[in-house]
Amino acid sequence: MSSSSSSRAGVMVMLAASLAGLAVAFYAYITPLTGVTGTLGAMAVIITCLVLAVLSLILPAMHGKIGRILLRLIILAVIVGTAFAASLLHLWWLVAAMAIALVGLMIAIFRSAPAAQPTRS
């Protein structure tokens, strides 16, 4: 498997985990007796899951080393913040989804294509 396809696999894992987290958060927000029905915290994790999905789609299209590093740091902050908020809301499936998203981010970071090396002639 080439490094580019491995990086895309990491991005796909992040995207799938963020969409799964979105489904869990939306279910908890609209379903009565979940303990977080209609709360601001549940709405916040819905929004952060949407942001994470969008950032996951933007990451492969980024050019430039600084931009990629900055976007990865933002994605990391969103994942950790969403997992923390989900733990406060006792949404453990959402915490698990964010753990999977973190694994996807690590795959995308460590399997990304190396920068072009100058050739010696």
Domain range summary for the chain, segments of one domain joined by +:
40-114
Name the phi and psi angles at 118, rounded to 5. -70, 140
Tally Cβ neighbours within 10 Å of residue 106: 14
At 7, the pLDDT band (50, 70, 90 cuts) reads confident
CB 85 within 8 A of CB 12: no
At 95, the pLDDT band (50, 70, 90 cuts) reads very high
- The whole-model pTM stands at 0.85
Residue whose tokens read 């996807």: 104
| One-letter amino acid of 74 | I
Alpha carbon distance 110, 76 (integer Å): 14
At 116, the pLDDT band (50, 70, 90 cuts) reads low
CB 91 within 8 A of CB 20: no
CB 42 within 8 A of CB 119: no
- Closest among 90, 97, 80, 81 to 28, alpha carbons compared: 90
At 118, the pLDDT band (50, 70, 90 cuts) reads low
At 12, the pLDDT band (50, 70, 90 cuts) reads very high
Least confident of 4-8, 59-63, 92-96: 4-8
At 84, the pLDDT band (50, 70, 90 cuts) reads very high
- Closest among 86, 114, 67, 90 to 17, alpha carbons compared: 86
